[in-house]
Structure 1
């Protein structure tokens, strides 16, 4: 049975539409003329919290295979951008979620699109990482992500097609659950201090979510020409010495009349908090990514698209700070309108 690659049929199911990447992919698909469906646990009337305008909401839970399969009927693409919040119950939820998506994709003959992460890679493949580098994670979360991709690749032998787009740490105007939003600054208040978690001199990869979503959209439009299991790395915003994102934040803040102090990240407090909470424990597991240089090789992506979608760093940071409420209120509105 051949996969459904009818280019005239343009319906996509987005799982995780209330998250930063899922919501942005949904908006960009809709803007490109796709009919977009979102599976959400709670749907009230015509308005659903976190749902982009113009998106059809369908009530259901990603943990309910029947609900996912019903929502995927008639879809050519399923964007799997859903994660358990706050790192909680990853071991219990993540793999059943992807299994449900793959079952629905097989039934609908759809292409699965996954936002990948750098958690799959251990220190032995650094600093420059291509798509075919060995995946030998050093963390529990990384091991789960590797297993996710293994199951996706196995599903391509059952007429499922898949696109994995891997980027560095996400940031963007609607991305509240990120290292930038939760580690570097405090959302909802004007900037005063920027905390830097990285070891000086260690390079770090960042992915601006609107650029990541644009990349996914362009690959989705080319899905008929791609391998059944197609993986791509985005260079994104490459911070070669671990200081450039903080410097950009300070430049943008200064243009908005704010004086910002740069300081270190309170890792000792995270060690203490890890004794009592899941999120700090996961942060410590991932600390090696702030001590080691990890750069993503985007040669395959550039060969496929001709270039990588890329917003200039200061523009991306300014939109992010405005969206997170870290610039003066009237300026936030002006940046958002622009």
Structure 2
């Protein structure tokens, strides 16, 4: 008997989270649509639909016939969050209600303040210290209200994102290293003696797809945390050094004093300064609920492979590193 076609609409399919989720859903048999404002090259896994997430009519048109809407839209460089983010989630909610689709939101740790640290549970109190965190909390409140009004919602929260498709919104590819160039220096963001939660984007996308394979077992409004990698200060930097095959690479403390001094004049520095508190204390995500639900099906890529594939995808490995990779694979 032929399985019915499952169709998913990805809001933000050109981004790191949306792209990896689209790829994972396609592997699991979904037909994937991607909403885009600009023409995109043909993609083997995504049917592009022209439209703007800021247009309720465009989102509703793209959502016709879908069973799932993944809301992975993030304004580039975190610009204009206060003007863009909440209208976009409202349009997704309205479209999902109209067509009877489940909404999936890839969540972050921005929702939480120090009162919830160090171990974040799905039901930990949400008292963010930043503007973006407050917007994230409001997004989830609106999704919960939508679920009370008949919609179905899945939120999957994870730590700091990194992966082969990482965008400028990722601390890995915008603060620790420079994307598009061989690694010549690494900046360490975390304070000495702390640890930080990291999440590999392909694992996040695959986790979402595997949860949806068991959608009938999910609650109307369900939330899961991905534990990901809990890395002590310096461990991500060392993983980057190992992946490049350059043991002499220098690791520098991130120039927080300069960022704080220049934040009134540089937009990116202002955004980084606002999120500094997330790097001054240890943060972990409690993934026991997800582990219990998926068991051995929980995707966990070894850190060494995740970091190397991320650097390769971001164009951060030079010819010497590539030769080392070829030698390693030839031996294996």
Same fold (TM over 0.5): yes
- Counterpart residue number, 2:173: 181
Residue 327 (str. 1) matches residue 323 (str. 2):
no
- Structure 2, gaps ≥5 residues long: none
Distance apart, 1:115 and its partner CA: 0.6
Residue 25 (str. 1) matches residue 14 (str. 2):
no
Q: Aligned-pair RMSD on alpha carbons?
A: 1.8
- Would the aligned equivalents of 1:191 and 1:258 in 2 still touch at CA under 8 Å? no
Q: Secondary structure of 2:104's partner? A: strand
Distance apart, 1:273 and its partner CA: 2.8
Matches within 5 A, 1:1-338: 8-43=4-39, 48-49=40-41, 52-177=43-168, 178-239=170-231, 241-254=232-245, 257=246, 259-307=248-296, 308-329=298-319, 332=322
Q: For residues 253 and 84 of structure 1, do their structure 2 counterparts lie closer, same or farther at Cα, with a shift above 3 Å needed?
A: same
- Structure 1, gaps ≥5 residues long: 1-6
**Per-residue Cα deviation, 1:268-296 (whole angstroms, up to 9, x for no partner):** 22123311133211211110110011100
Number of aligned residue pairs: 323
Structure 1's consecutive aligned runs of 4 or more residues displaced over 2 angstroms after TM superposition are: 51-54, 329-336
- Would the aligned equivalents of 2:111 and 2:126 in 1 still touch at CA under 8 Å? yes
- Would the aligned equivalents of 1:253 and 1:260 in 2 still touch at CA under 8 Å? no
Q: Secondary structure of 1:321's partner? A: helix
**Distance in 1 separating the partners of 2:322 and 2:51:** 35
**Distance in 1 separating the partners of 2:179 and 2:109:** 25
Distance apart, 1:220 and its partner CA: 1.4
- Would the aligned equivalents of 1:253 and 1:259 in 2 still touch at CA under 8 Å? no
Higher mean alpha-carbon deviation, 184-193 vs 160-169, is at 184-193
Distance apart, 1:222 and its partner CA: 1.4
TM-score by length of 1: 0.91
- Would the aligned equivalents of 1:318 and 1:335 in 2 still touch at CA under 8 Å? no
Distance apart, 1:330 and its partner CA: 7.6
- Would the aligned equivalents of 1:164 and 1:232 in 2 still touch at CA under 8 Å? yes
**Distance in 2 separating the partners of 1:107 and 1:247:** 49
**Distance in 1 separating the partners of 2:84 and 2:109:** 20
Q: Secondary structure of 1:118's partner? A: coil
Q: For residues 115 and 52 of structure 1, do their structure 2 counterparts lie closer, same or farther at Cα, with a shift above 3 Å needed?
A: farther
Q: For residues 332 and 163 of structure 1, do their structure 2 counterparts lie closer, same or farther at Cα, with a shift above 3 Å needed?
A: farther
**Distance in 2 separating the partners of 1:269 and 1:63:** 35
- Would the aligned equivalents of 1:172 and 1:317 in 2 still touch at CA under 8 Å? yes
Q: For residues 53 and 9 of structure 1, do their structure 2 counterparts lie closer, same or farther at Cα, with a shift above 3 Å needed?
A: closer
Distance apart, 1:334 and its partner CA: 9.4
TM-score by length of 2: 0.93
- Would the aligned equivalents of 1:168 and 1:205 in 2 still touch at CA under 8 Å? yes
**Distance in 2 separating the partners of 1:119 and 1:211:** 20
Distance apart, 1:128 and its partner CA: 0.8
**Distance in 1 separating the partners of 2:77 and 2:243:** 29
**Distance in 2 separating the partners of 1:111 and 1:242:** 38
- Would the aligned equivalents of 1:319 and 1:335 in 2 still touch at CA under 8 Å? no
